[in-house]
C-alpha cells in the first residue's frame, strides 16, 4: 500500500497526542473533549443545518476568527 505523506503526518500527530496522554484512552477522550470545547465556534452541527442555517460557515482547520 502506498501511503500519502499527509496521512503519515496525521498518523504521527495522533501517535504523539496519544503518547502525551500516557497511552490512556480516558485521558485521550478528555483531551479531545477539551479541544472540542476550545474550538466550538469552528464547528457546525447537524441541527443547525436542519434549521435552515446552511449559510453558516462550515468547519475549517484554517479559521482564526469567529463568524
Domain residue spans in the chain? 25-67
17 vs 30: CA distance, rounded Å: 12
Give yes or no for residue 2 having a pLDDT over 60.
yes
**List of residues 6+ apart from 17 with CB closer than 8 A:** 28, 31
- 42 vs 5 pLDDT, higher one: 5
Q: C-alpha grid cell for residue 58?
A: 462550515
C-beta separation of 16 from 5 below 8 A: no
Question: 0.75 cut: is pTM over it?
Answer: no
pLDDT of residue 67: 46
Average pLDDT over residues 13-33: 97
Average pLDDT over residues 23-43: 91
C-beta separation of 12 from 4 below 8 A: no
**Band of pLDDT at residue 42, cut at 50, 70 and 90:** confident
Q: Helix 5-20 to helix 25-38 angle, to the nearest 10 degrees?
A: 110
Amino acid at each position: 500500500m502506498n501511503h500519502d505523506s499527509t496521512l503519515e503526518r496525521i498518523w504521527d500527530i495522533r501517535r504523539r497526542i496519544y503518547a502525551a496522554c500516557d497511552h490512556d484512552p480516558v485521558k485521550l477522550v478528555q483531551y479531545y473533549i477539551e479541544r472540542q470545547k476550545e474550538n466550538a465556534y469552528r464547528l457546525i452541527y447537524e441541527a443547525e443545518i436542519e434549521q435552515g442555517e446552511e449559510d453558516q460557515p462550515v468547519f475549517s482547520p484554517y479559521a482564526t476568527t469567529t463568524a
